[in-house]
Amino acid sequence: MAFALACASVASLASAGPAKSVPTLEIRVIHATQSDGGAAIDADLRDLPQLTRDQPFVRYNVYKLLARKLQALEEGKPEAYGLVNGRTLQVTLVDVTTTSAPHPDRRYHIRAAIGEPGKQAFLKLLEVTASEGQPFFVGGQTYEGGTLFLELVLYGT
Amino acid sequence: MTLPRETVLDLMGLADGMLEGDAKAKAEQLVASNEEARLLVDTLRASPVGDWVRESTDRQASAAVAGVADSVMARLAADASGAVEGGVVRMAPWVRRGSRRGPAVVAGVGAALVLAASIALYVRSGSQRSDEELAPVASVAVPPVGVPSVALPAPSASASQAEAKTAAAGGVEVNAVEAPSRAVSVFRIPMGAAAAAANAPHPSSVVIWVEEDTGTK
């Protein structure tokens, strides 16, 4: 799924005009709850059934995709994304490195924060280095009887 | 222990075979009649440290005898050359075997250590272990369920920098997390089939879990 989205995003960027050498960040906002009525996972979250066997996903059995966004990231330029709970996710691409052969791997170093105006930051700073197409999650924000998982994935151009 | 110090020293000497004559007979009589004395002597004789003490004292005695012989031979040689006055060979002071000084003191100290260790071992093995004794020497905060994860300490209200270097099989590496006044856990999760299907080079990921403040929605 993530790979298909990456291809689609790359294709759309290519058709829009001259190719820009910037990676794309995919953000998915997932609402997770625990229900006695049985497990239910949104059809758009095809990766999640694999993940829900592990902590902390195993705490919940109902998953819904609330929002999704593709955002081009330029190095050093922060991008903000409004979350459903009123907070703002800010992501900055710090740098991109490529490991050498025999297994070249593009690595994205990003800096993120989640805050809310007038309140103490929920997540003041998060620095992660991830390989291309490798998702990672930020969880723990309470929302409507459950929690929010933010899935972030970076794709190259 | 209720035995007088002098009696204990005598018993130590008996255990090491250093007593002679009346002192030895008196100590043996005490061992036969006093349970505490018998226990002490048995403990000393059964201890490997006691053997070491005995061997050490024997070695010292042998070395001293050898030293005397060397000294005599040297003096005789010197006498032959006319260097010794009056034909008298002067020897260094020698501690007689059986004396309570010298080697006996060494044996006494060793035996005391053995006795103390034996008592300590007995008391420790016979006593009920408390929870504190069973507690690990170091512990870390972990998530509620045992899973592959790294739990970062809950930051204080004033300083909340939590540095992490968590590599999830090389795929995702958490370099730093800072969440004031919140507990942070980093869960490592396998991506399994999903990653394989996407041809992901690193089939694992992480979840950075930040605890929400109480009452905050």
Q: What is the pLDDT of residues A40-56, one digit of tens each?
A: 999 988 777 777 788 89
Residues of A in contact with B212 (CB under 8 A): 122, 140-142
For residues B97-108, give the mean pLDDT.
43
- What whole-number distance in Å separates Cα of residue A125 and Cα of residue B178? 5
Examine the pLDDT at B204 and tell me if it is beyond 90: no
User: How does residue A35 score in pLDDT terms, banded at 50, 70 and 90?
Assistant: very high
Interface of B with A (CB under 8 A): 143-145, 147, 149, 160, 170-182, 185, 187, 189-194, 197-202, 205-213, 216-217
**Range of A47-51, A65-69, B181-185, B195-199 with top mean pLDDT:** A65-69
DSSP 8-state assignment for residue A75: B
Q: How far is B119 from chain A (nearest CA, A)?
A: 49
The CA-atom distances, in angstroms, between B73 and each of B79, B96, B195 are 10, 21, 89
pLDDT of residue A24: 95
Record: contact B173-A57, CB cut-off 8 A: no
DSSP string, B139-163: -----SS--SEEEEPPPPSS--EEE
Q: Which residue has the higher pLDDT, A21 or B216?
A: A21
For residue B208, count CB atoms less than 10 angstroms from its CB and return exposed for 0-12, middle for 13-18, buried for 19 or more: buried
Assess contact for B139 and B79: CB atoms under 8 A. Answer: no
Q: What is the pLDDT of residues A83-125, one digit of tens each?
A: 999 999 999 999 999 877 777 788 999 999 999 988 889 999 9
- CA-nearest residue of chain B to A103? B201
Any residues with CB less than 8 A from the CB of B203 and at least 6 apart, and which? B169, B171, B190, B191, B192, B195, B196
Q: Please provide the distance, in angstroms rounded to a whole number, between the alpha carbons at the two ends of chain B.
A: 67
Considering only CB atoms, A139 lies closest to which of B174, B178, B207, namely: B207
Report the predicted TM-score, pTM, of the whole model to 2 decimal places: 0.52
- What whole-number distance in Å separates Cα of residue B167 and Cα of residue B150? 10
ipTM: 0.84
Residues of B in contact with A46 (CB under 8 A): 194
User: How does residue A148 score in pLDDT terms, banded at 50, 70 and 90?
Assistant: very high
Examine the pLDDT at B32 and tell me if it is beyond 80: yes
User: How does residue B15 score in pLDDT terms, banded at 50, 70 and 90?
Assistant: confident
Q: What is the pLDDT of residues B77-88, one digit of tens each?
A: 444 444 444 334
